[in-house]
Structure formats: structure tokens, C-alpha cells
Structure 1
């Protein structure tokens, strides 16, 4: 068991999530982490056009017992850029990525943490495709696209992940902070995977998670252009930018 794991940094990028961000913050707050691990919430507002900032500041004021850091970009830079900001600010021994929407269930932090607490892993990915967990039925071609991107990434990293594009990624903080990350948008996922895979003796685990996906009408932001960018990033960071 790991004894020096005292704080989990949870990085939450947010863009136009004003009406619903309090729901995910409530869920994160309600999670009781094992071994009295403290939660540090790092919310990065990527220049939202709605009342996201007001909603976050209101929540922060009404929950003084919750360790919330709030940062904002003055111009919209993309999800990856928001993650760069949040990761740089993390002070916990481990850092977890949490989307601001309601597609992922914070109650599954416990499952993600198990390989870490057992002393087996440095990095844990939460897979939407491992089975055994609730999974909202949505877009066929999105699921095929995700699996193709994971397959291509695996070919070049020599990993056997089932879900490279997952939001839920848990890193040893010093490892991810030492990466020179460049992708500003959804290219973050293949880039960080390529660079983490090259760390000598890194131990990467994967656990099954639930997925409560959104439609575009409900606020989903990723599109087919991001898929082509992901292919470009997989090749770039595994072949040409080692």
C-alpha cells in the first residue's frame, strides 16, 4: 500500500457549463476517498461565453470546506490548454482529469485509485469499453472512431489499451508535469498517451468505468474534425516527435 499519497488533484476544464457545473461539483464533493486522501479541485474556465465563472465562484463561496482552485483563460484556447493550466497547478501526489459535464461518474474514483493504492500503477486509464458498467447507447460511428484511434495509438505505443480517448486518466503528478505537452484541443489524449508510454518502467493500468454520454444538443463538443486531428497527433507524437 502507498503511504505517502495524501492529496488527489482533480483537474476540471470547463467551457460553457454554467447551468450544470454545480451538479458535477456536488458529485465530486460527495465522494469519500480511501485513506483520508484530500481532494484538491482545480477548475479551469476556458473563456466561457455563459455564466460558468459566476456559477463556479458561487459554488466556491457556498462550499468553503472544499479545496477549490479557480483559474480562467482570457481567450478560448481549447480543452488541452485548460488541462495544461490545471496540471501545472496540481499539488497532489496524483492528478485525475474530470470533465465538467455529467458523462463520467466520480463515484468510480475508488476503482481508478485501487491500482495506485495497491502500489501497482503509476497511471490508470478508465475504459468505457471494458464491459460490466452502465454505458449510454449513442453514436455508432463515434464508438468505431474511438476504437480505431485506440488501435492506431496502440500500434505505435505498443500498449494494449481499450480506450485511449477516455476522459478519466489518473497520473502520478510528477510524471505528467514533467511532460512537454503541446496540444491545445482534443489532441491532448493521443499526445499524453504517447509521451507517458515512453517513460522508462512506467506502470499503466486500465479499469472499467461507466459512461453517460451526451448528444450534441445536450452540449457534446467533440466532432469529426477532432478525430482527424487525433490521427495526426498519434502519428506526430509517436513517430516524428519522439
Structure 2
């Protein structure tokens, strides 16, 4: 079995080598093979240089793709999914907010034959969770509530980055959103698959401030509401 790790990157020159280090040394359960796919979404900093330097310095295969024009996280994820050859696909941000060492926690429901899709929840874990913005938490919970209501789910963290899919399922979904609308869109489209088995496991969360490079903003929140309504109501 092979796990494809899709890493969308935009202006992550300071952290991309650190996250690649974590992925490189990670040992997956059941000797699952790793495939790393990095998609640089036309970064304006030294992300491209840092990725190429990393590839040249380490004996670690990385499938590297670069967008000529900035398109957004959702578009970068689509590029990564299209190029993935693994049996399973997981999304990994290029920052350090999520810990790749927790892939094994997420893999277990699929390995044990219970799940087709696994979400990593930042809100149901007994693990480390950085204390940050009150209104971000309220916003996340509202978006999750609205998504659950329209898709008849009981997720606790729809907006989480950590989503693990059976490759045949995610490759069979037509995805459209270019930015952070990917999260509500993919959730709505997965929810309507007949007999889909969605699981959720608790993960840690090492969130960033805007000074540290966080990019999502209030406009993305309104876009998320639009996407929840678009893909939840108009199926």
C-alpha cells in the first residue's frame, strides 16, 4: 500500500524544509510506502529555491510541480491529487501547524477496514492544541455546524487540513474550488456518496499567528459559507 502526501505550498520558504524533514523520517504503520508531491502555487518568496535545494541535498524522492500563476490552495491540491499514484491520499500544509507523526493515527480506521475517509479533528483531541484566536474558533465551529446541517454529518472540524482519502474516491470527485473553499466542497461531495464511511480522529494543532505566516482571512470565511450553501443545497 502507498500513501500519497500532497503538500500545497505558497510562500513557505521558512518552513517547507522542516515539514519535508518530518515527512522524510516518518515511519508508517504496516510498512506503507510514502509518495511526496509538493505543489508550489507560484510563491513570491524563496519557496521554489528551498524546495529545489532540498531535493538536491537529500536522497528522498519528491514529485515537484510548480504553478506558473497563483491559483490558490484548492487548485494546488487538485494538481497534487491528479499526480498522486498512491492507494491513499492525505493533505499536508507546508507550515508546521499539523504534525505528520499523526498520519498513523489517521491511517488506522482505513487499515482496519472501517473507513473510506478520515478527518483529523483539532477539537476532539487530548493532544497539544495552541491557544489562539477566539473568533477563529467560533467561525470554524459555525462553518462545521452549517456544513453538518446541510450534509447530515456530525463532524467536529470540517475545516481541518488533515483529510485522508482512499485514492479512488477522491480522484472520482470533480473538484472546482481554487482557494480555501476546497474544505466545504469536498466535504459536501463526499457526504453524498452512497454508503461512504467517514471517520474522525483527534489530532494536535500547532497554530500560527498572522505574523508567523497564517494566510486565511475573513473573506475566506464568507467564501466558505457560500460554498457550503452552493454544494450543500444545490446538489
Q: What is the TM-score normalised by the length of structure 1?
A: 0.96
Superposition deviation, residue 36 in structure 1? 1.1
| CA shift digits 1:32-71 (9 cap, x unpaired) | 001111110000000000111111111112222x231000
CA RMSD of aligned residues (A): 0.6
Give yes or no for contact 1:39–1:67 (8 Å, CA) kept in 2: no
What is aligned with 1:71?
Answer: 65
Superposition deviation, residue 133 in structure 1? 1.0
What number of residue pairs does the alignment pair up? 235
Question: Are 1:157 and 2:151 counterparts?
Answer: yes
Question: Are 1:216 and 2:210 counterparts?
Answer: yes
What is aligned with 1:62?
Answer: 57
Question: Are 1:132 and 2:132 counterparts?
Answer: no
The secondary structure found in structure 1 opposite 2:8 is strand
Question: Are 1:143 and 2:98 counterparts?
Answer: no
How far apart are the structure 1 equivalents of 2:151 and 2:186?
11
How far apart are the structure 2 equivalents of 1:61 and 1:33?
24
Question: Are 1:184 and 2:178 counterparts?
Answer: yes
How far apart are the structure 2 equivalents of 1:200 and 1:187?
23
The secondary structure found in structure 1 opposite 2:35 is strand
Which of 39, 45, 48 pairs up with 2:43?
Answer: 48
Give yes or no for contact 1:150–1:161 (8 Å, CA) kept in 2: yes
Which of 23, 31, 37 pairs up with 1:36?
Answer: 31
Trace 1:197-216 onto structure 2 (pairs within 5 A): 197-216=191-210
- Gaps of at least 5 residues in structure 1 are 1-5
How far apart are the structure 2 equivalents of 1:67 and 1:120?
31
What is aligned with 1:7?
Answer: 2
- Gaps of at least 5 residues in structure 2 are none
What is aligned with 1:233?
Answer: 227
How far apart are the structure 2 equivalents of 1:134 and 1:179?
33
What is aligned with 1:3?
Answer: none
The secondary structure found in structure 2 opposite 1:95 is strand
| CA shift digits 1:125-154 (9 cap, x unpaired) | 000000301100000000000000000000
How far apart are the structure 1 equivalents of 2:80 and 2:21?
20
Superposition deviation, residue 94 in structure 1? 0.3
| CA shift digits 1:86-115 (9 cap, x unpaired) | 011110000000000000011101100010
How far apart are the structure 2 equivalents of 1:202 and 1:188?
19
The secondary structure found in structure 2 opposite 1:150 is helix
How far apart are the structure 2 equivalents of 1:114 and 1:78?
31
